[in-house]
Amino acid sequence: MNYEELLAFAGRNPMLSLALVGLTVAIIATEIARLFRGYKSLKPAELTHMINAGNAVVIDLSASAEFEKGHIVGSRNLQPAQLTPSHKLLANAKQSPVVLLCRTGNASATAAKALKKAGFEQVYVLEGGLPAWQAADLPLVKGRG
């Protein structure tokens, strides 16, 4: 395919061409936004490695009742309103990896941005939240933790 054929295709299919351009721009914008958001996403296997290393603070932002139904071993339950740099769980964790998770990913992403803004150096979000953890057949524990 050469340049003339590509232009002819675009001329015959303007809506398809506009859709392609729109999707390309959206993908580029999303990737640029991800580079500058300040926190990183972790896959369940990466979180498992970090937990096994023993230095990660894992915070589950789910409602208390949801947390008690099942959560990652060693995770702590905080409500988004409690997630402040002065909270006892976070007071000494500015240099430690802090991993946030929730049931949907919305609350953890918002909280991650706030922690980065507050000066936390290593902030992570579990990609896909707790459903991704469960889909990877990783264990949950019940109760208050």
Specify the CATH number for the domain of residue 97. 3.40.250.10
Report the relative pairing of strands 97-101 and 76-77 from DSSP bridges. Answer: unpaired
* Rounded Cα distance, 89 and 22, in Å: 44
What pLDDT does 145 receive? 60
Least confident range of 44-48, 106-110, 128-132: 106-110
In which domain, by residue range, is 28 found?
A: 3-35
For the chain, what is the domain count? 2
* Rounded Cα distance, 11 and 136, in Å: 46
Question: For the whole model, what pTM was predicted?
Answer: 0.75
Short-list 143, 138, 79, CA closest to 111:
79
Question: What is the set of active-site residues?
Answer: 102
For residue 67, what are the contacts with CB-CB under 8 A and spacing of at least 6? 60, 77, 144, 145
Do residue 87 and residue 57 come from a single domain?
yes
Token pair for residue 138? 């990783």
